Each structure stands twice: as C-alpha cells, then as structure tokens.
Amino acid sequence: MRPDHVPVCPGCRTITGDRLDVRTLDRIGDLLVCACGRRYPVVDGVPIVLADPTAYLRDEIATVVERDLAPEVAALLAAGGPDDAPYPRLLEHLSIYLDAQWGDRAVPAPDGPGAHADGPAIAAVLARIAARAAHPVGLAVELGCSVGRVVAELALGAEHVVGLDLHHGALRRARRLLAGEPVRYARRVTGRHYAAAVATAGDRAVPADRVTLLCGDALDPPLVPGLFDRVVALNLLDSVASPRGLLAVVDGLCAPGGEIILTSPYAWMGSIMADHERLEGDDPAATLTATLRDGTGLRARYTIEDEADLPWTLRRDARSAVTYCIHYVRARKM
C-alpha cells in the first residue's frame, strides 16, 4: 500500500474545526493495528476496516469466513435453502455481479436476457471509464467496487487505484481477478440451481502494487480526504442510507481540481433509506447536477463535463434480468 493512502483508523479519527487528525494502521500478520489499540482483521488479503467491525461481522460473517468451493459443491450447499439464507444470498450476489462485470471474460458466456454478445452488460459505463485513461491521474478510488472490473478500467489511467466495498465475498474475488488468477464461480440458472463458470481478467489484470482493496463503509471510508484525483461511485446514491452523505464523502475525498464520476438509476427503496433522505423532486438527475454546480452541502462547486443516460443490466438467472437506465455524470472540482 502506498504511504499516502494507507487505511486510517475510523475509530479514533477526530475533527476539530477544520483540522482532521488521523492515525494510519500498521500491518502485523493478519491484523491492521492502530496506536489507539483498535485492531482490524485481514481475511484472504482483504482488510476489514470499519468503525464498528463487530456489528458488521455479526451480520455478514458468512461472506467473511466462506471458502472458495467448487461451484458444484457450492450449488449443492445452497440447494437446501431457504432462499434468504446467508449462503444462497451470497451465491446469488456473486453470480449477478461476476456476470455483469466479467461476463465478457467468462467461460461459458452468460446466457439469458441479461447476456450481451457485444460485451459485458455494463459495457457503456466501462467504455466511459476506460476513456479517462487518456487523461491519467495519480490516485483514483472507487466506492462500491464489488468484484473489481471498474477498478481494472480505472487502473488504465491511474498510478494507483483504491477499491472499497462492504461485501467481503465480492472483494475476495476482485483481489484474485485483478491479480490475474481465474475465478470459478456458481452461475445461477434458476432458483437455487447453479452451473459452473470461470472468469479471468486477462489484459485487465493489475499489478499488486498498483491496487488496494478494502472492506469498508462508503459513508465512512478509512481514507485520508482530499488525495484522490478521480473519485468514482457507481449506482451507490440509491443504495446507501444517505445520498447527500455519500456526495459529501465523494466531495471530501476528491482533490482540488479532481474529477468525480457518479451514476444512479435513482431506484429509491424505503428499506434502505428514509423518504426524506432521497434527492428532491421528480427529476433526481437534475437535483444532483444542481447540487454539484451550486456546491450545496459540499465544500466545493463542480463543473459538469459529461452527462448521459446509459443502460445497466444485471442478469439474475437464465430467464430473468433487471435493466436500468442510469444517469451518468462526470464533474470537475472547482
């Protein structure tokens, strides 16, 4: 990890006026240790750095301690259900996002309505991210990086990329894929029935000294603010408890003159956020761009440099998929 963005302890950092005091973490075996006494586990090469890791581990222990089982064995373990049990939910999540992000590099290729012959189901977004390689930066970060495909595209135009996500199981696969290793996974056919697939990164593999993956909270990332020249958060605004809180985090991480890249279908769900947290009005895209231009609730104002509506498809199984029209915006910090 580069010394200018080693994870900081989220449990003891303090803000006094405009001053932020943080302590970086030292790696000791499979632990990250802070001088304050707090310790954070490193599981399969992925640190879990949260202000309250105990609560996270209580709720998500299945995604942390699970092993890379043969897809046939994993499918057999999930077959007994129920559908909402931790392990079947884990397999479904990995199937959806490995297909969406790495399906163009998987064998066999994804089938069903979420499959696309001309590239991955999120090809339109990946193309825009990859195009930013023509404007290289030093540090980039993706909040909500899942299984790592966008991290790989960001690495085309950044010296170092940090990927952060709350799903440890996804990050474990991201680490292996980005290291150039094949990842065998169980692709959902229907219900709790799965078939074997293998994904590889190929020419999108990233040297280990150019990428850092962290299991953490996008609303409270264990990172030093103001360092990142490119900050990306795809489809997170409607997946966190506070969209404006996420905008404040993105703004805080972005270096002066840096750029942010955001997408969202604005598919609000009451189970995730309260009604009053949603971006106002019947056109959340307009609310977002106005917020960025005006700097409302942020430390800076932004110039909108690119904006579009793009397709984003998630294959659920061989007979179903969910397709969104996502709002894409790239903005420059003034």
Sketch the domain layout of the chain as residue ranges.
46-333
What integer pLDDT is reported at residue 131 of this predicted model? 96
CATH topology for the 46-333 domain: Rossmann fold (3.40.50)
Q: Which residue type is seen at 278? A: R
Task: Please measure the distance between the N-terminal and C-terminal CA atoms of the chain and give it in whole angstroms.
Answer: 29
The residue with tokens 């972005």 is 254
The reported pTM is 0.95
Residue 210 near residue 43 (C-beta atoms within 8 A): no
- Consecutive H or E run containing 8: none
Give the single-character DSSP code of 1. Answer: -
DSSP 72-123: HHHHHHHHT--TTSHHHHHHHHHHHHHHHHHGGGEESPP-STT--TTS-TTH
Instruction: Tell me how far the alpha carbon of residue 178 is from its chain's centroid.
Output: 14
Q: What is the chain's pLDDT, residue by residue, as a tens digit (334 residues)?
A: 454 567 999 999 887 767 778 888 999 999 999 999 999 999 999 999 999 888 888 888 888 999 889 999 999 999 988 999 999 999 999 999 999 999 999 999 999 987 776 677 789 999 999 999 999 999 999 999 999 999 999 999 999 999 999 999 999 999 999 999 999 999 999 999 999 999 999 999 999 999 999 999 999 999 999 999 999 999 999 999 999 999 999 999 999 999 999 999 999 999 999 999 999 889 999 999 999 999 999 999 999 999 999 999 999 999 999 999 999 999 999 9
Residue whose C-alpha is closest to residue 296's, from 287, 305, 285: 287
